Amino acid sequence: MAAALAKIFGTGKKGEPPSPQQAIQKLRETEEMLSKKTEFLEKKIDKEMQTVKKNGMKNKRAALNALKRKKRLEKQLAQIDGTLSTIEFQREALENAQTNTEVLKNMSYAAKALKAAHQHLDVDDVHDMMDDISEQNEIAQEIGDALSAPIGFNQDLDEDELLAELEELEQEELEGQLLDVETPSAPLEDPSEQLPDVPTHVPASRKKVADEDDDLRELAAWATS
């Protein structure tokens, strides 16, 4: 394919095939030229068709000649359309090849950078380092657990003994409540002591009413005497 392109489009330097970019540019120029040729042929086909319609059966010879020219032009147009399709396919293949070349170039560049970054690293050293980190984390956890553990007399106490003592206290509390419920209240020694005292003082308002009643009775007695 490179030889065919070199034959069609020439070479950059003597003995060297054209670069993909050069070939793509040439193909685009050819596409543009053929597109203009297509527009020209389409206009001529329309003109010949108008001649056919204009003459029709009135001038058969002129109409037939115009129709023949129209057929030849349509054949050329079909050939150009096929050529354009081939060129378009070839251009797209070159563009894809150029893209792939650029991608591979960048991937190779990245691979070299990755290799350079790893050349000072050893897998065994990495595993050893991760083991050391894991071991230090375990030590740190043990230290944290030791620091957070309670100290003092609580360490000597048995949790089972504490629970037994708690249950005993709860039982004593319950028995005390039952005794309070069963014991009757003491009888009153003197019921009178519990009754409220009868007030001996007469309110002023009631005394005033009584005095008025006495006055009225006295007045009634005087009136009837």
Residue 69 has pLDDT above 90, yes or no: yes
Least confident among 12-16, 88-92, 134-138, 161-165: 12-16
In 183-224, alpha helices (H) = 191-194, 204-223
Residue 138 has pLDDT above 50, yes or no: yes
Q: What is the pLDDT of residue 116?
A: 86
Q: What is the pLDDT of residue 1?
A: 43
Is residue 38 within 8 A of residue 74, CB to CB? The reply is no
Q: pLDDT per residue over 188-206, tens digit each?
A: 455 455 555 555 554 555 5
Residue 87 has pLDDT above 90, yes or no: yes
Residue 49 lies in a domain: yes
Which has the higher per-residue pLDDT, 45 or 7? 45
How confident is the model over 83-97, as a mean pLDDT? Answer: 93
Percent of the chain with pLDDT over 70: 69
Mean pLDDT of the chain: 78
Q: How many domains does the chain have?
A: 1
Residue 180 lies in a domain: no
Residue 12 has pLDDT above 80, yes or no: no
Query: Can you give the pTM of this predicted structure?
Result: 0.44
Residue 77 lies in a domain: yes
Residue 123 lies in a domain: no
Residue 18 has pLDDT above 50, yes or no: yes
Residue 47 has pLDDT above 90, yes or no: yes
Find the CATH number of the domain harbouring 49: 1.10.287.1060
Structure tokens at 121: 């690293």
Distance, CA of 30 to CA of 23 (rounded, Å): 11
Range of the domain at 34: 20-117
Residues 6+ apart with CB under 8 A from 57: 63
Residue 224 lies in a domain: no
Distance, CA of 25 to CA of 110 (rounded, Å): 30
Residue 212 lies in a domain: no
Residue 53 lies in a domain: yes
Is residue 42 within 8 A of residue 76, CB to CB? The reply is no
Q: pLDDT per residue over 121-137, tens digit each?
A: 777 878 888 888 999 99
Q: What is the pLDDT of residue 58?
A: 85
Distance, CA of 110 to CA of 113 (rounded, Å): 5
Is residue 40 within 8 A of residue 114, CB to CB? The reply is no
